[in-house]
Structure formats: structure tokens, C-alpha cells
Amino acid sequence: MNIALRKPWTVDEFLAWEERQELRYEFDGIRPVAMAGGTLNHNLIAGNVYAGLRDRLRGGPCRVFAETVKIEVAGRIRYPDVVVSCSPVTGTATVLPDPVIVFEVLSEGTYRTDWYDKNGEYRDTPSIVRYVMLEQETLHATMFSREGERWVGTLLDADAVIEIPEIGVVLKLADAYEGVEFPAPPDGSGSEASAPPSQ
């Protein structure tokens, strides 16, 4: 959908507009961006992460949300695949306050946005301490974490664990891929972790 805009919208203008829409949109700081549908693998990976976090966080101050919950980061509105917040929030809220941990499942159409745009936005949001990007076609992930003033990336291989001490959780990366069927690799290809797209 093409939306003609004379000037960049504000977050409040976008939120008021989106409330009247049937579909979901993110806000990139300038204009609405329609959310694309996902694959079965995308849904399985996000669902596995959500379930693992929900079980471990039950009864504590932090809660996990998935897909249809908005967060505001660096003047943008995003719908993370999975997000954890430890701040009180009413059930009627439409934007989750103070996200702490964010997970995105990478896809071909959103790879560059997730690796660069969202990565920078999450880095620039003080409440977010970890951002995990999960590959969809291989059992690999990249986790960025806040270490003082630094935003440090770590590659996670198939036998790795995702350590999240801020909320007292450890997840096996392999558990996020339970039930996922990977596409067969082309002949002669290796199984190395995917690198970010070239700029």
C-alpha cells in the first residue's frame, strides 16, 4: 500500500491512524510500513521462544509478549516477534513500556531492516539490554547485548545457550527450533552461520 505523506508523521499521529486500520503497520519514523505475513518456520521459532520464556518467567515480575504487541524505540513503532518487559502495564495498553529483551526471527524480506535499522533502534533504547536475531533457515542466531557503553554482538551456534541474566533465564538455542524443518541446502554448500547482508 502506498501512502502519500506531505511530511513525516509523529508517533502519536501514527498510533491514532493505525487504530483505525484492519492490518498491522510498523512506523519507521517517517511513514507506516505494512507488516508482511510469515512462514510456518517463522511462526514455530517465535512460538517456541515465547513458550520457553513464558514457562520460565511465570510468577515473576517480567512478562513475555508476542507479535501483536507494539513497542516504541527511538521514535519508531515496532512489532517484535517476542519481547519481554518487567514494568507494570494495564491490560488495555496498546504500546508495551520499557522493553528489556527483544527477539526477531529473520526473513528474506526483513533481513536488512532487522540487522541494521532495528538493531540501531534497540541499541538506542536504554531499557533494552539484549536483542536476539534468530536465523530461519539454519540453526544459528546472533545476540547483541549491552555491556556498559558498548553494544556487543555474539554468534550463537546450534549447541549454544541464550543466557539472559537480567531476567534470570537460560534458553537452549536448539529448543527454539523444535519442530522446524530446514530447507535442503544447495549441493556443495556448507552450514556456516549466515552473515549480515553487505552494505
Strands 63-66 and 70-73: unpaired
The secondary structure of the chain as a DSSP string is -----SSPPPHHHHHHHHTT-SS-EEE-SSSEEEPPP--HHHHHHHHHHHHHHHHHHTTSS-EEEESS-EEEETTEEE--SEEEE-S---TT-SEESSEEEEEEE--TTTHHIIIIIIHHHHHT-TT--EEEEE-SSSS-EEEEEEETTEEEEEEE-TT-EEEEGGGTEEEEGGGGGTT--PPPPPTT---PPPPPPP-
Task: Enumerate the β-bridge partners of residue 66.
Answer: 82
Give the pLDDT of residue 91: 87
Domain residue extents for the chain: 39-177
Q: Is the pLDDT of residue 134 over 90?
A: yes
- How do residues 38-95 score in pLDDT, each as one tens digit? 889 999 999 999 999 999 999 999 999 998 899 999 999 999 999 999 999 888 898 9
- How do residues 156-169 score in pLDDT, each as one tens digit? 999 999 999 999 99
CB atoms within 10 A of CB 163: 14
What is the average pLDDT across 111-127? Answer: 95
* Annotation: CATH topology of 39-177: tt1808, chain A (3.90.1570)
CB atoms within 10 A of CB 160: 17
The secondary structure of 122-169 as a DSSP string is HHT-TT--EEEEE-SSSS-EEEEEEETTEEEEEEE-TT-EEEEGGGTE
Query: Residue 110 in contact with residue 119, Cβ under 8 Å?
Result: no
Q: What is the chain's mean pLDDT, rounded? A: 90
Give the pLDDT of residue 187: 67
Which band of pLDDT confidence, cut at 50, 70 and 90, is reported for residue 193? very low
Is residue 75 left, alpha or beta, with left meaning phi > 0 and alpha meaning psi from -120 to 50? Answer: left
Q: What is the CA radius of gyration of the chain?
A: 17
Indicate the pTM of the whole model: 0.86
CB atoms within 10 A of CB 50: 20
- Taking CA 134 as the corner, what is the angle to CA 96 and CA 63, rounded to the nearest 5 degrees? 30
Which band of pLDDT confidence, cut at 50, 70 and 90, is reported for residue 2? low
